[in-house]
Structure 1
């Protein structure tokens, strides 16, 4: 039996993950990197001298390039040049051989001699095998063979090794330093790996004024010179698929080198959800003739699309089909399904004509974005080989997942968002994404059969480094990304980025930041967002906003303590990945806390208003100073990258530049300081969802606590495995919470849920609630995004749900006796995420 807890208690509770890298002994796994000098079968670096890198001279350009990158990476780690050769002649000492099985003479010779076994990767998609071979040739005591089942398999295996020896995928895009080592060895044996999701990628979007201005200054435009770094990052993260920047830009049209470079490096290029047949939207403005209307201008559009396919016909690609309105707008209200089916049929005829093969031989996606999903729901038919690309609601909640045609050859994908321009507010400035939320939604998608395309809108790439790293790691092997692995990920990421010494502390900082930042996106915060407290004569009491500010200030202090123990060469990456996000978001809370108190005190003609006016103006100036410090890093390498406006939003578009909130000054002397005498007490109470007394499973389902999911307490509760059909009360799956009421009366129980959506096309997601042995009441979370279902929009406020990143459903229980009672929450529908219970006496 437990008493009820004060509201917001436990918001600072952290679940310390058990780190897999700390559990396992170093150098234990086959063909793994060892820094201790013990148990190594092959010396990759010995006394500062790196092994040579060998690649066949006629290898695919992507393979030759990654071999050259490995030689550079070995140089970064060893401090000495690594030999890069296109044959074994004259090479002595240990070597690394990179190639594609069946297309690499040196590797194929070793396979024929029985020195390596490649059967585990034969015929697979992007698989790789890494094997240590003793004495493969005279004067070569050992070889490390990296064999790919195809060209990208060889690329991923090579970059996998590079990451293991200490070269971060973020060595360029976040200036993560490389630790130099005199000795690196590889253990004996073989290991192999391959991806689960076929196409895994990112979408650069909303890229002005930040990335666009940066690219124009540093590279002369969003061109091949810029994309070279982006493509390398994507491949090092084991991604293979990109939707290129499209705000007034064309990857193929702006720089003819970009398309060729993408293909040479092994990148699969697609176009966004509203850019059919490899044509960027801006190209219609530049070259299109007539209206973007298939009813009136089919010939003009067909010619435009044919030119796009002709230009990209020799490149590795996934072709977007279908059609939206001009400029990513909805099609007209009278758009008929049969017209869109004709669009798709004609587009596929163009694809077949240009490629000389059946259209089914060219990978295609049809993006079910916004109103396009309605066409799918209404029965629009597309060919079986086309991948159906579902979308979230632009705020991290999947709108729909597969319920039919589950065996279609084209399969399914999801288009997800870490960045967005649209209602209720655009959010472009900083990372406000929790990896735990991303995991919950993408694990759900995978378990529902989505394993052909995972692509995420990352805006400018920076500052989405952490969630992007997680997203692509998850996509590589969703089954391995268990709840425990999610909990361990921040510290493991920190260990790879900043070293193991402070990894747990850094991982905890990043996790706390993500939870606090996800409470509300900064573009949605102003002086009136949360209660600020009360004025009682000379006494001020802190409210909810003040408590949140305290959390941010405590996080800043903890961050600065870790910074003190870092090495000098880590501080640039630290500022980009940890310090700037924490300082800048804490400053937003300080700004609006000061503005709110300034206005409240000015209304009372209290001179303390002037103190808060000064604080607000200082915070506004500090926001610009923090961005300027970012832009000065690495001799100005990242100038413009933090140029997105983030203060002064009044509508979904936002201002072109930061706008200082209005403050009011009153007559009287400004005090040197202002003190708060306490915190406003709340009448209601909270129970953390993970603080249950009993978790009763049902069938093959069980309850799982997902650490750090949500904004309060230690995490949230979900039913696992996800993706399962509805259950009933008779199945008995429930959570039980024992409470003790001090007095008799009525209570209202609010169940705070993450704002998940109905992904199966019903009418919401349901949760049962009961008290003691009473009847079960069904609570329905029926959130309808702006994009669809206007007739149901007024039932539940989707705007409020995404603004608050949560929604509370309530149930009332009357005439209760004092003493012990039990609240029961019943699993009915999938995709319910329970964060906490709030109990209020009536």
Structure 2
């Protein structure tokens, strides 16, 4: 296991950690603090005291915390169970009401934690003097329950410089001779009850990696996944499930370890009653499974199968069950829709029968076992048509698989089980898979999940992360927001890239690396790499056949390539200032995704020019063919470089195919795009002109083809109303910023309310004025049918623009489905209208808030009609 030895090595380096206010209670400081607690003094860590009777989850976290102290201080930390063995500074860890030592301190009035009792996963960190005779000072980490204590420890680990990604992304630990915690008390608790991720679409990348390094999907592998989840303050996991994988069946120790570490195990939206889908196709000879996955014709076998899942869940012993969140309901075999015309009554019967099994096996009312019903794809239709499940079941709404939430609660009626959201960072399906790299904007995740929280989805946040890597950055953000959505303000969201990068690479590098991650995310989100080909973006226009030596107008395609080129150059500048031990993490988290996507754009740009020039018989096509083939080879080299990190620690993790898609499903292997060569007539230089930006003048006149493009955030006036404010969200969408109304989740407003944005224009000439709004894609989450926004000019009447996007789970055969396909492919929503006979001179264009959840990013104004699919690269937006 040489390739995994990095996990046990302590990589020491000294550089400044992210700045912390050393006057805040329990802040970590790296020099003496008056009245503070010496967590590490001259390299010697404090003792970690955990009673032998403590819950296994607390024991596991204490072991990890002790190892973290050694990673930071360089010397082993003692784990002891008896306070009589303690010496010097001590950290005491326990659960309120379950720890004799903690309860003794409470009884002696040394700990004031009465408000902690009964909290879900709450914790308190308190520095106290003389907890017991002979100990001058102690740090108490007390949890309201077992996971509260776990999170209290891992919170300290992160404060002292141990990244949650120290193993899963090789982030080095910063050596500190001294670590002091400011005295006082600090604590927290989550606002979303269940928070976690789903390992999905895991072949070939995650699957190959697990088999090569661990021999499969066993407890040795999942130990790292569980620890990552908990360090990120998540608590729930949907495990890898695509055949031939089955979490409980592959290794019986998987569920044992998950429960021992404090992880709540669930199963995906189409795997009821804790059963992995692949289990249905196993063990048929035992009579547990068999026949069709069809409740109408095979209910008895299905009930037997499901009963086995619940029996396994309660097999922990002593009348206890493994910590689980049980999925109820049913979809078709292989995550397909159930048969056409399935009645909601049948699904209600299925859920009722499943709950009867739960009650019978557990010996308790079904409501005492946490359950979730996922309203995924067609299942939401059943809900919309009136299907209901008992009030204690969590209703899990879903997005459209592309980051737009489909539905949310629409009334204030409380629901015992509450509501949640299943969100996607990775997907297999129409209009095309996206599984290779992170293509998600934290800004979009923030906008959608802030809306979800405002509308009452607070019971479960689950995100599909594919192979986990390379989703480190967006997953960190998702779980940070899930822990406390109220604290994730626009300002906190905007600061997150800098702060997160600073935590991985040091405070000095934080701003620069955070900016790289922000730009990467924005560029990557414009169009998923699996959707990019030689025809994705226009080249510049040509008049007839270019002559040898003529400069080639690269158009919008060249502008996009130029952005990626600049970003790659900037990452190399930052890389030059990093220390050697930081480079493996930098390559995984920053360098590889930027260089890989920059290279992909150059590949298809070269193919686009090759095909155009070859069709014209221009021999310069050959040079572009060479460039394309070199870029294709470079893609393979970048993958190999990733797989070589740490002597092959991550071998296989970048094996996902991504070049050569011809339909929605991935090709078996990367396919070099077709290029053509032309008989050479001498060597001709290649000069490519980047397309000039769109007309940057401040006026629009008759006969002018180039429209005026205005960023929505560059408004002249923002008029609030009805308790709402306009908010600029930095970097949301294709351009630099977008504008939304806050707080989200509020009812519609009317024109008479006056909630609007105003833009001053100077128009030359008179005539019709064509206006196009470019919006960040969203869906109507209320079920009302469409989303509306108003447009007017000066004191003229308001025109209402409304549209209804319909997610297309099947081939796009209707106009609504085609509109949705185009919207998610472009990651851009377009609404437009024509204002008739607008005079020359100064005018004020007004955008009116009517419905919620419509982020505006760009306005396009033109005297000429604008096509519905008019491309607008972000780099060409006017910034005045």
The residue matched to 2:440 in structure 1 has which SS? coil
SS in 1 for 2:512: helix
1:827 to 849, 857, 875: 849
CA distance in structure 1 between the aligned counterparts of 2:588 and 2:666, rounded to whole angstroms: 24
Q: Deviations over 1:415-454 (max 9, x none)?
A: 0000000000000000000000000000000000000000
The yes-or-no answer on 1:728 pairing with 2:750 is yes
CA contact (8 A) 1:426 1:654 kept: yes
Alignment of 1:353-752 (within 5 A): 353-404=360-411, 406-535=413-542, 536-537=546-547, 538-669=550-681, 671=683, 673-677=685-689, 679=691, 682=694, 683-712=706-735, 714-752=736-774
* Aligned match of 1:286: 282
After superposition, what is the alpha-carbon deviation per residue over 1:65-103, rounded to whole angstroms, capped at 9, x for unaligned?
111111100000000011110111121100001110111
Q: Distance in 2 between matches of 1:37 and 1:586?
A: 47
* Mapped pair 1:319 → 2:326: yes
1:715-772 deviation digits (Å, cap 9, x = unpaired): 1000100000111111110001111123323221110011100111111111001111
Question: Quick check: 679-688 or 355-364, which moved more?
Answer: 679-688
SS of residue matched to 2:785: coil
Provide the residue aligned with 2:858 in structure 1: 836
TM-aligned CA deviation for residue 39 of structure 1: 3.5
Native 8 Å contact 1:542 1:680 kept in 2: no
Matched, 1:64 2:59: yes
Q: Tell me how far 1:679 sits from its aligned partner.
A: 2.1
Q: CA deviation at 1:539?
A: 2.6
- Residues 678 and 357 of structure 1: is their aligned pair in 2 closer, same or farther, counting only changes over 3 Å? closer
Q: Distance in 1 between matches of 2:309 and 2:777?
A: 39
Write out per-residue CA displacement over residues 798-836 of structure 1, whole angstroms, 9 at most, x where no aligned residue.
000000001111111232222211111100001101010
Q: Any residues of structure 2 matched to 1:145-224 within 5 Å, and which?
A: 145-224=140-219
- Partner residue, 1:307: 308
SS in 1 for 2:116: coil
Alignment partner of 1:333: what SS?
A: coil
Q: 1:333 to 1:352 in 2, by over 3 A?
A: same
Greater mean deviation of Cα atoms: 541-550 or 136-145: 136-145
Taking the aligned partners of 1:817 and 1:29, their CA distance within structure 2 comes to 60
> Which whole-Å CA distance do the structure 2 matches of 1:796 and 1:660 have between them?
28
Q: Distance in 1 between matches of 2:862 and 2:802?
A: 20
- TM-aligned CA deviation for residue 681 of structure 1: 6.0
How far apart are residue 37 of structure 1 and its match?
A: 2.2
Contact 1:597 1:612 in 2 (8 A): yes
Q: Displacement, 1:781?
A: 2.7
Shift of the alpha carbon at 1:788?
Answer: 8.7
Check if 1:269 corresponds to 2:286: no
| Deviation of the 1:795 alpha carbon | 7.4
Does structure 2 retain, via aligned residues, the 8 Å contact 1:273–1:369?
Answer: yes
Instruction: Give the drift of 1:40.
Output: 5.2
Once residues 120 and 139 of structure 1 are traced to their aligned partners in structure 2, the CA distance between those partners, rounded to angstroms, is 29
Match of 1:762 in 2: 784
Shift of 1:312: 1.1
The alpha-carbon deviation at position 387 of structure 1 amounts to 0.5
Query: Which whole-Å CA distance do the structure 2 matches of 1:721 and 1:309 have between them?
Result: 42
Give the superposition deviation at 1:672: 7.0
Give the direction of change, closer, same or farther, for the CA distance of 1:505–1:678 in structure 2 (3 Å limit).
closer
Distance 2:656 2:689 in 1: 37
C-alpha distance after superposition, 1:379-431 (max 9, x if no partner): 11210000000000000000000114730101001000000000000000000
Q: Partner residue of 1:802? A: 824
Deviation at 1:791?
A: 9.6
Q: CA deviation at 1:685?
A: 2.3
- The answer to whether the 8 Å contact 1:693/1:738 transfers is yes
Secondary structure, counterpart of 1:534 in structure 2: coil
1:233-244 correspondence to structure 2 within 5 Å: 233-244=228-239
Gaps in structure 1 of 5+ consecutive residues: 1-20
- Residue 655 of structure 1 aligns to a residue in which SS? coil
1:11-66 superposed Cα distances (whole Å, 9 cap, x missing partner): xxxxxxxxxx98x8621211221113234511111111110100000110000111
Structure 1 vs Structure 2 CA RMSD: 1.5
* Higher RCO, 1 vs 2 (CA within 8 Å, ≥6 residues apart): 1
Q: For 1:243 and 1:406, how far apart are their aligned partners in 2?
A: 29
Which is worse superposed, 174-183 or 786-795? 786-795
Contact 1:406/1:449 (8 A) holds in 2: no
Of 642-651 and 527-536, the range deviating more from structure 2: 527-536
Deviates more, 1:408-417 or 1:805-814: 805-814
Q: 2:31 aligns with which of 18, 31, 36?
A: 36
Q: Does the CA-based 8 Å contact 1:131-1:189 persist in structure 2?
A: yes
Match of 1:337 among 324, 338, 344: 344
Structure 1 distance, partners of 2:684, 2:577, is 34
SS of the residue aligned with 1:131? Answer: strand
Instruction: Describe the shift of the 1:681–1:711 C-alpha distance in structure 2 as closer, same or farther (beyond 3 A).
Output: closer
Q: How far, CA to CA, are the matches of 2:525 and 2:535 in structure 1?
A: 18
Relative distance call for 1:672 and 1:486 in structure 2 (3 A) is farther
CA deviation after TM superposition for structure 1 residue 366, in Å = 0.5
Determine whether 1:138 maps to 2:124.
no
Q: Which 5+ residue runs of structure 2 have no aligned equivalent?
A: 1-16, 284-288, 315-320, 695-705, 865-880
Q: Distance in 1 between matches of 2:104 and 2:819?
A: 65
Q: Relative to 1, partners in 2 of residues 1:658 and 1:253: Cα closer, same or farther, differing over 3 Å?
A: same
How has the CA–CA distance of structure 1 residues 125 and 788 changed in structure 2, closer, same or farther, with 3 Å as cutoff?
Answer: farther
What SS class does the counterpart of residue 346 from structure 1 fall into? helix
Q: Is 1:99–1:147's contact at 8 Å kept on the other side of the alignment?
A: yes
Number of matched residues? 820
Supply the distance in 2 between the matched residues of 1:469 and 1:671 (Cα, whole angstroms): 51
TM-score by length of 1: 0.96
Structure-2 change in CA distance of 1:681 and 1:570 (3 Å) = closer
The aligned residue for residue 227 of structure 1 is 222
Is contact 1:771-1:823 (8 Å) kept? yes
Is residue 551–residue 686 contact of structure 2 (8 Å, CA) maintained in 1? no
Question: In the TM superposition, what is the alpha-carbon distance from 1:689 to its structure 2 partner?
Answer: 0.6
Whether the aligned pair in 2 keeps the contact of 1:27 and 1:39 (CA below 8 Å) is no
How far apart are the structure 1 equivalents of 2:780 and 2:508? 43
The 8 Å contact of residues 20 and 29 in structure 2, kept in 1 or not, is answered as: no
Q: TM-score, normalised by structure 2?
A: 0.92
**Given the superposition, is the C-alpha separation of residues 614 and 339 from structure 1 closer, same or farther in structure 2, using an over 3 Å criterion?**
same
The residue that corresponds to 1:86 in the other structure is 81
- Secondary structure of 2:382's partner? helix
- 1:269-295 Cα offsets, whole Å, 9 max, x none, are 000000000000001111321211111
Contact conserved, 2:804 with 2:816, CA < 8 A, in 1? Answer: no
